Amino acid sequence: MEARPHLVGLGRDELTELFAGLGEPRYRADQVFRGLYERRLRSFDEMTDLPKALRERLAAETDVSVLEVESKFVSVDGTRRYLMRTRDGYPVETVFIPTESRDTICFSSQSGCPLKCDFCLTAKLGLLRNLTAGEIIEQIIVVLNDVYGIGGETPHGTNLVAMGEGEPFLNFENLIKALEIMADEKGLHIVPGRVTVSTAGIVPKIYEFAKLERRPNLAISLSAASDPLRDRLMPINRKWPIEDLMAAAREFEKTLKRGERFTFEYVLLGGVNDSDRQAGELADLIERHGLRKVKINLIPHNPAEQLDYRPSDPEQVRRFKEILESRGISAYVRTPRGRDIYAACGQLAAKHEPNLVQIAG
């Protein structure tokens, strides 16, 4: 059976074409576009500016929502983790991270992940499937509505990070389509400058990403400055080793405008990649390739029973950061959020345990 059209995930032109096929005027498509994205409505019954007969036809032939919130967990620090399911039963996880100055939604681009990074719990799932553009966008709508109410204004805007389950650049077309739709000023209006896409190092896609006219920010997960160690921690390095990755980073840096930077993410693993010597090797790598518009995001490892790693000692985290800064490299330490509910970086694996604080979705 052919899948019904999922209206979330369709841009204005696609909606116009769909409504023309239904014999409806363009302004009806515009009404639905605003209903889906600006008002963040989750059912046709809520679109009361449409005739009842049209609402009934749309409900019979198309879908507004295809994700179901299976559970929601709330951390002691206010972070929320949402475990959703697709229509075909695959898990999708999304995290809301509030701070005083901004709110961030960490969304998934795939269900599971194929890359097998050794320090990441999501890798244990393997790749289940790519998410559609609509499933990517619907995650954002679900979270915004839960936090602020349906159509409610966000107090200081929303930042998005493609750092949930999956490798975004292995679902490139759906990711970019979703981001373009969300940037529309008549919809969610989340502009590219408020979005960061994180990749483990899919080198050809970094070059492609660099050519985009309206482009989000880029973060590259590095976590080692030598091929032998990165081969072990991040097997994708065996396909695109560090020298190839640095060449792509140099080309990307050339496209940055004044004041723009990109990020290397470095997960600190106690006794594995956090020594003073390794901090120096990281600085050497950046200097050797002449990278000037880069910052280093140091991420203390978030532990999980299934992972044979421990977080770095806080004093060593401080030393690692100071060594980089002494070499003129901008570095900052990410504050772990949501560890107690398996919402932190590297912990997303559809955890659904009775000892977690669960709130009905």
Catalytic residue positions?
Answer: 93, 345
Going by C-alpha positions, the residue among 219, 218, 233, 344 that lies closest to residue 278 is 233
Report how far residue 82's alpha carbon sits from residue 104's, in angstroms, rounded to the nearest whole number: 14
Going by C-alpha positions, the residue among 170, 187, 188 that lies closest to residue 109 is 170
Angle at 221 between CA 215 and CA 226, to 5 degrees: 135
What are the strands of the beta sheet with 91-98, ordered from one edge? Answer: 330-333, 294-300, 262-268, 217-221, 195-199, 158-162, 103-106, 91-98, 80-85, 68-74, 358-359
In DSSP terms, which residues pair with 83 in a beta bridge?
Answer: 71, 93
The sign of the CA dihedral 136, 137, 141, 143 is positive
* Encoded amino acid at 351, one letter: K
DSSP code at position 44: G
User: Residue 111, Cα to own-chain centre: how many angstroms?
Assistant: 12
Angle at 228 between CA 332 and CA 245, to 5 degrees: 60
CB 19 within 8 A of CB 28: yes
Residue 281 CB neighbours (<10 A): 16
